[in-house]
Amino acid sequence: MDALNLDPELEARLTAIVAETGKTKVFHIEAALADYLDDLEDQALAEEGMRDYDSAQNVPLDVVKRDLGLDS
């Protein structure tokens, strides 16, 4: 992996977390990066779902209630 040059403020925050937790900088950077990548992947899936959305497939609430026997 390449060297990582952090903004001094970010580096100070990371150093403080390392002191609090006793875990390494690499541990925290890897955990943060994994969370960030998970979020990006989730966002891509959500955007794909929105592209595939077809409002013509919507079912009105009264129809759902009727079909489930919940109409009064």
Tens-place pLDDT, residues 16-69:
999 999 999 999 999 999 999 999 999 999 999 999 999 999 999 999 999 999
Q: Please tell me whether residue 59 adopts helix, strand or coil conformation.
A: coil
pLDDT, averaged across the chain: 95
Boundaries of every domain in the chain: 8-68
Residue 18 Cα to chain centre, angstroms? 24
Residues composing the chain: 72
DSSP secondary structure code for residue 56 in this structure: G
Instruction: Name the residue type at position 12.
Output: A
